[in-house]
Amino acid sequence: MKSLAAAVAFLALGACALPAVAQTSAVPENAAQIRLSFAGVVKTVAPAVVNVYATRRVQAPTNPLFADPFFRQFFGGGVEPPARVQSSLGSGTIVDPSGIIVTNVHVIADATEVKVALADKREFEADIVLKDERTDVAVIKIREKGTYPFARIGDSESLQVGDLVLAMGNPFGVGQTVTQGIVSALARTQVGAGESRYFIQTDAAINPGNSGGALVDLEGRLVGVPSSIYSSSGGSIGIGFAIPSTVVKFILEQAKSGSTVRRPWLGASVQNVTADVAEGLGLDRPFGALVTGLAPKGPAAAAGLKIGDLIVAVDGHEVDDPDVFGFRFGTRTLGGSVKLDVVRAGKRVQLELASVAAPETPPRDARTIETASPFAGATIVNLSPAAAEELRMPLDATGVAIAAVAAGSPAARVGFQKGDVVLEVNGVEVRDTASLARLAASDPSFWRIAVRRDGQVLRLALR
């Protein structure tokens, strides 16, 4: 691997000095050229790349006999089974000398304890600062105060297809590993674990355990966070995806002000442009994000955006599809304005939107139902424009929605899903989270529940 890297590096350096014909047959002329490698880059970055160990406690399922009153009288109510401890392993990168680390949300999902191990074998407990499921980026911080080695964050916008990059992490738990490849593609969408899909593709080997690690350029700057791979076998086949450093910077900036991410609110819904729609709009190819709905008092409507407008650029950056638009618009800072280029009636016009967060009216009043009921384990919220936007629900969505469902909970077994709107419980209308919490604690002998999912009303009857 090193000799191949040396040959590639030598050819790259010699390209300017050798004639075009001679480039294909050039060989190293001295020992120094043979020793060319990426060792200097690795030496700079490796101390900042850490192993992330996340543990979570999972309650073992209760013996169904203990739920039956007849058998319970013999077993005295039964003994609650002990919780099982599950562990997961991933990687992370220290990006600040105070011990701030970026990793993936799926590495630390539902973790009750997080530890990190540095390259020098030191281990520390870490606190979760922020988790953003939409981008699959998480920020954690080493609990013990100190000065730690860190990696500089580079500019993923400056990357080009063909640039050499290194991937660093802990694949399969074998220990810190470095792989080398190129940037295979930019702006890959519809892949990965996050809901905001915009990735750097690389052929540098990325395997399970690399998640949350570092994708660095040849100056040792973090340009991406490896997040997922395309594989039929579970191992690397040269198609890996990394979250751009542009997104990492945005999430780190949000982490400074709290544990939630606040994004600009468009106040409009957009969809992909098909070949037929492109032809109808007089376009030579499908591209852009087509506006299909507007919130009456949203920033888009206030700026003059109209249904049928085609958004083709955000602050000068071209938009190929709604996912690219979501990346470009969603990583703008709050305050100030955002410039949108739109095609309307065959003409290109520019609009300026206020960069503001979606309103939290009514307050979401998030609650996790714990009482014995079909809703136990579900987190519910009052729908506001902010909550609806986070849950990717229609602009006019109102009521009480399920924001999360704990794995293995009664709510999960019933089949409740993120985004379900609870309409009625036993004939009583659900007006807010407080009323649903009361209904969930009512302990009836029979449950009749109505929910709205994807525009359809589903009715459940449960004992």
- Residue 377: CA count within 13 A, CB half-sphere: 17
Tokens matching residue 6: 């040396």
Tell me, letter by letter, the H, E, C secondary structure of the chain. CHHHHHHHHHHHHHCCCCCCCHHHHCCCCCHHHHCCCCHHHHHHHHHHEEEEEEEEEEECCCCHHHHCHHHHHHHCCCCCCCEEEEEEEEEEEEEECCCEEEEEHHHHCCCCEEEEECCCCCEEEEEEEEEECCCCEEEEEECCCCCCCCCCECCHHHCCCCCEEEEEECHHHCCCEEEEEEEEEEEECCCCCCCCCCEEEECCCCCCCCCCCEEECCCCCEEEEEEEECCCCCCCCCCEEEEEHHHHHHHHHHHCCCCCCCCCCCCEEEECCCHHHHHHCCCCCCCCEEEEEECCCCHHHHHCCCCCCEEEEECCEECCCHHHHHHHHHCCCCCCEEEEEEEECCEEEEEEEECCCCCCCCCCCCEECCCCCCCCCEEEEECCHHHHHHCCCCCCCCCEEEEEECCCCHHHHHCCCCCCEEEEECCEECCCHHHHHHHHCCCCCCEEEEEEECCEEEEEEEC
Please name every residue paired with 405 in a beta bridge, in sequence order, or none if there are none.
Answer: 378
Choose, from 91, 156, 184, 211, the residue flagged as catalytic: 211
The question of whether 211 is a catalytic residue gets the answer: yes
The question of whether 196 is a catalytic residue gets the answer: no
Angle at the Cα of 182 (from 178 to 185), degrees rounded to 5? 130
Distance CA 227, CA 209 (A): 10
The question of whether 136 is a catalytic residue gets the answer: yes
Choose, from 88, 91, 132, 136, the residue flagged as catalytic: 136
Contacts with 387 (C-beta within 8 Å, 6 or more apart), sequence order:
360, 364, 381, 401, 403
Choose, from 106, 227, 269, 309, the residue flagged as catalytic: 106
Tell me the residue type at 288.
Answer: G
Q: Nearest 5°: phi and psi at 263? A: -110, 160
Catalytic positions, written as ranges: 106, 136, 211
